[in-house]
């Protein structure tokens, strides 16, 4: 089923949009099946779960951290993580920079924007994102690179609401994209999940994070 789901998805998304297969809570065997079907980008929302899967699976997998990142856990993924989607503070960026430096690498990061009306969603208001991108402190961080923005729309059946939230994020992304500084060059807009990736792509997404439409429903909410 996983292989067919992937194939169907690929047929539905334009080639400029990359697909992160969200494998959180799913076993190694499921990830291996997707890998065998050609999938290389996988997303997890818990650092330790991702680190242990990284150990057990082929090393050419690109691991995406899509969940909320606790500062004290960055060290467990610093040697291998491909892209951190949920960066929401300068403090976290500094820790990522510090850990990346230990491994002599540059870690790509997305800033998470708060676009949903719900209080529970993580992310920064656009004013904070702009302030961070303009800050002198950012220039000192040589081992991180901000490559784009990430956002999650409200969990609602109101299509208009979701479209408006994606459209707002896309508008800010397009503006910020025109800037080009040493450690940021925005090219990735990570938005869209199983339920709303089509709307997200219509609004300019370049990277979608899809879990249940590939691997089936998860047995718990996470």
Ligand X SMILES: *Cc1c(COP(=O)(O)O)cnc(C)c1O
> Which residues lie near ligand X (CB under 6 A)?
22, 24, 45, 66-67, 152, 193-195, 209-213
Work out how close the CB of 16 gets to ligand X at its nearest, in angstroms, rounded to a whole number.
Answer: 19
**Closer by beta carbon to ligand X, 38 or else 216:** 216
Q: Which residues contact 136 (CB under 8 A, 6 or more apart)?
A: none
In the complex, residue closest to ligand X by CB: 211
Dist. CA 123–CA 134, nearest whole Å: 18
- Is 212 within 8 Å of 218 (Cβ atoms)? yes
CB of 54 to ligand X, least distance (A): 18
- How would you classify residue 164: left for phi > 0, otherwise alpha for psi between -120 and 50, otherwise beta? alpha
Contact 75, 98 (CB under 8 A): no
Check if the beta carbon of residue 123 is closer than 8 Å to that of residue 102: no
Residue 148 or 211 with smaller CB distance to ligand X: 211
User: In terms of DSSP bridges, do strands 184-190 and 62-65 run parallel, antiparallel, or are they unpaired?
Assistant: unpaired
Q: Which is nearer to ligand X, 3 or 105 (CB)?
A: 3
DSSP state of 72: G
Nearest distance in Å: CB 33, ligand X? 17
In total, the chain counts a number of residues equal to: 222
Q: Least distance (Å) from ligand X to the CB of residue 134? A: 26
Q: How far is the CB of 88 from ligand X (least distance, A)?
A: 12
Q: Tokens 């950012």 identify what position?
A: 138
Range list of H helices, 153-215: 159-177, 197-202, 212-215
Q: Nearer Cβ to ligand X, position 50 or 210?
A: 210
216: left (phi over 0), alpha (psi -120 to 50) or beta: left
Instruction: Select 45 or 170, whichever has its Cβ closest to ligand X.
Output: 45
Which residue lies nearer to ligand X by CB, 54 or 209?
209
* Shortest CB 67 distance to ligand X, Å: 6
């Amino acid at each position: 089923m996983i292989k067919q789901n992937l194939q169907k998805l690929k047929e539905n998304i334009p080639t400029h949009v990359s697909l992160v297969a969200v494998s959180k809570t799913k076993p190694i065997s499921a990830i291996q099946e997707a890998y065998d079907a050609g999938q290389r980008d996988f997303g997890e929302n818990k650092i330790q779960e991702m680190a242990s899967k990284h150990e057990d699976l082929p090393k050419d997998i690109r691991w995406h951290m899509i969940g909320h990142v606790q500062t004290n856990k960055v060290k467990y993924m610093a040697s291998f993580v491909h892209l951190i989607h949920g960066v929401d503070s300068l403090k976290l960026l500094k820790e990522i920079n510090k850990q990346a430096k230990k491994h002599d690498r540059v870690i790509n990061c997305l800033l998470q924007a708060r676009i949903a009306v719900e209080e529970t969603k993580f992310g920064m208001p656009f004013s904070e994102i702009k302030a961070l991108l303009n800050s002198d402190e950012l220039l000192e961080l040589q081992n991180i690179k901000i490559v784009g923005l990430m956002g999650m729309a409200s969990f609602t059946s109101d299509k208009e609401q979701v479209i408006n939230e994606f459209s707002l994020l896309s508008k800010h992304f397009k503006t910020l994209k025109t800037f080009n500084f040493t450690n940021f060059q925005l090219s990735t807009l990570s938005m869209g999940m199983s339920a709303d990736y089509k709307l997200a792509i219509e609004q300019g997404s370049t990277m979608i994070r899809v879990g249940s439409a590939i691997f089936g429903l998860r047995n718990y909410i996470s």
